[in-house]
């Protein structure tokens, strides 16, 4: 249990915030095409790498007394997962990993932006968009920066030999 001081400070923070405002949740759900609340992605040994049901406790709107209410709310927003259409031809896969992956639809190909943290989660996310939108080959991958959660999954979506042969930029 939190100390009396911590609990009092969390109540004070909550009083200063518009925690009843649901607009952010409506915005975060906009464009949702599909999600899987039972999503568990496993590694080669069958060990869970990503487990959405494990975050089920986040459905409760009121945070525990030990948690900053603003951080709890942000975590609940981050817990909204699935395949989203951001705008025509631009899709995001959220909640398949620590980061989000964006796919840009060309006439006959996908361009991937930041292919997640692990090969297994990237492959699962690519399978969802292939099933729900269209199965297209990947022509290019864009890495926005060098954190592993933005490049580690690339080999779950493409083969290195395709890059070496110039098939994928």
**How far apart are the C-alpha atoms of 123 and 120, rounded to whole Å?**
5
pLDDT band at 128 (very low <50, low <70, confident <90, very high): very high
Question: Do 117 and 97 form a contact (C-beta atoms < 8 A)?
Answer: yes
Q: What is the DSSP letter of 113?
A: E
Closest C-alpha to 110, from 94, 131, 129: 129
pLDDT band at 70 (very low <50, low <70, confident <90, very high): very high
Question: Do 82 and 92 form a contact (C-beta atoms < 8 A)?
Answer: no
- For residue 151, pLDDT over 90 is answered with no
**How far apart are the C-alpha atoms of 123 and 154, rounded to whole Å?**
9
Maximum CA extent, the chain = 63
First CA to last CA distance, the chain: 52
Q: Partners of 91 in the beta sheet? A: 85, 103
**How far apart are the C-alpha atoms of 154 and 149, rounded to whole Å?**
10
Question: What is the pLDDT, as a whole number, of residue 40?
Answer: 97
Place of tokens 């951080």: 71
- For residue 146, pLDDT over 90 is answered with no
Q: What is the DSSP letter of 151?
A: T
Four-residue CA torsion sign, 124, 129, 131, 135: negative
Closest C-alpha to 136, from 117, 160, 114, 110: 110
Question: What is the pLDDT, as a whole number, of residue 52?
Answer: 94
Question: What is the pLDDT, as a whole number, of residue 91?
Answer: 98
Q: Which helix (H) or strand (E) element contains residue 111?
A: strand 110-113
């Amino acid at each position: 249990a939190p100390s009396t001081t911590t609990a009092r400070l969390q109540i004070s923070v909550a009083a200063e915030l518009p925690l009843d405002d649901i607009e952010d949740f409506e915005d975060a759900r906009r464009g949702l095409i599909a999600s899987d609340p039972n999503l568990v992605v496993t590694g080669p040994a069958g060990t869970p790498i990503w487990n959405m049901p494990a975050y089920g406790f986040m459905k409760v709107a009121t945070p525990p007394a030990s948690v900053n209410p603003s951080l709890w709310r942000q975590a609940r927003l981050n817990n909204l997962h699935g395949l989203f259409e951001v705008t025509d031809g631009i899709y995001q896969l959220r909640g398949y990993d620590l980061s989000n992956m964006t796919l840009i639809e060309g006439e006959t190909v996908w361009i991937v932006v930041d292919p997640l943290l692990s090969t297994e989660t990237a492959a699962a996310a690519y399978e969802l968009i292939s099933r729900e939108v269209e199965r297209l080959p990947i022509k290019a991958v864009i890495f926005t920066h060098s954190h592993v959660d933005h490049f580690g999954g690339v080999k779950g979506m493409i083969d290195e030999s395709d890059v070496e042969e110039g098939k994928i930029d």
